[in-house]
Amino acid sequence: MEQNSIGVFDSGVGGLTVLKSLIKTLKNENFIYFGDVARLPYGTKSEQTIKRYGFQDAKFLIEKNVKLIVVACNTVSSVALDYLKTIFNIPIIGVIEPAAEIAVEKTKKSIGVIGTVATIKSGKYLELIKNYAKNRGKTIEIHQQATSLLVPFIEDGWKESKILKDVIIEYFKIDDFINKIDTLVLGCTHYPVIQDLIEDICQNKVFVLNSADAVSIKVKEILEKLHIESKEKNKKQKIEIYVTDVNDTVYYLTNKILSDVLDDNEIHKKIKLVDIPD
C-alpha cells in the first residue's frame, strides 16, 4: 500500500471503534489497522511489557510505510506514548488527550474514568483532566475505577450477557463511583462496543463519552498542520486489517463495529492473520 496510509493499532479489535470514526471523518485517507489479539489484554501487563508490545506494534505499521500512527489503545497511550514518540520519527497520536479535553468541556463538576488497571494506575487521565480544568478555570472532581474484566468479556463476544451487565453494575457500586459523577469517560477503546449497555445502566444520569470522534478531529488537525493529508478526492478508501490471532469473535466484532462504513462482504476478506511482530 502506498505511503499515504494512516496506521492504527490496539491490543485487540476494540480499536476498530477509532478506525470507524477515522474512516468517516477522513474520507480521502487510506488506513492500515493492526490488532494484537494473541496477546490481549495489555491492561494487566507490566509497564516494561506494554512498552515492548507498543514498540512492536508501531514498528509493524511503520514497515508498512504509514505516515502517521494512532495508538487506539488507552493502555499504550497512558504508559508508552511518550516512549514511542522518542523512538519513531513520525507523528504518533494517543486517545487520552482528546478525551480528557472534551470531558472537561462537558462536565458540570465531576468526571469519572473507567479503564484497565494500567491506564488507571498511570494517572494520565488524572493529570490531563486537571491541566485542562486549570486552564479553563474550572474546579472538577475526578474519580477513577479500574474495570479490567470488561475487555475479556467484549473480546469473547459476551456483549449481550446478563453476567457482563452485573459485572459493570458491581464496578459502579465500588465507593459509590457512579453516583459521584456527571460525566463518564470510556477509558478503553473496547468500551464503545458496550456503550449502549453502560448508558442503560447509567439511566441518562451521566454523560457517557466515547473518545473516538475527538481522536479523529485531532488527527485531521495534525494532517493539515503538517500538510500530509491526502490530496486525492472522491477515491475509494483502501483499508487493511491485520491481526495476530483470528477466531469467530474477531469476525463478529469486526463486522459489528465496521458494518456501517464497510460492505459486509468485504469485511471478512480484509482480515489477515500475521505473526506477532518482533
273: helix, coil or strand? strand
Q: Exactly one of 16, 22, 72, 73 is catalytic; which is it?
A: 73
Asked if residue 21 lies in contact with residue 211, where contact means CB atoms within 8 angstroms, the answer is no
73 is catalytic: yes
List C-alpha distances in Å: 156 to 51, 152, 225, 273: 25, 6, 40, 18
User: How many whole angstroms separate alpha carbon 58 and alpha carbon 185?
Assistant: 25
Quickly count: other Cβ atoms within 10 Å of residue 172's Cβ. 22
Q: Which of 22, 81, 99, 188 is catalytic?
A: 188
φ/ψ of 161, rounded to 5, equals -80, 145
To the query of whether residue 202 is one of the catalytic residues in this protein, the response is no
Is 31:8 a contact under the CB 8 Å cutoff? yes
Strand arrangement, sheet containing 68-71: 92-93, 68-71, 5-10, 30-35, 239-243, 271-273
First to last CA, the chain: 21
Query: What amino acid positions are annotated as catalytic residues?
Result: 73, 188
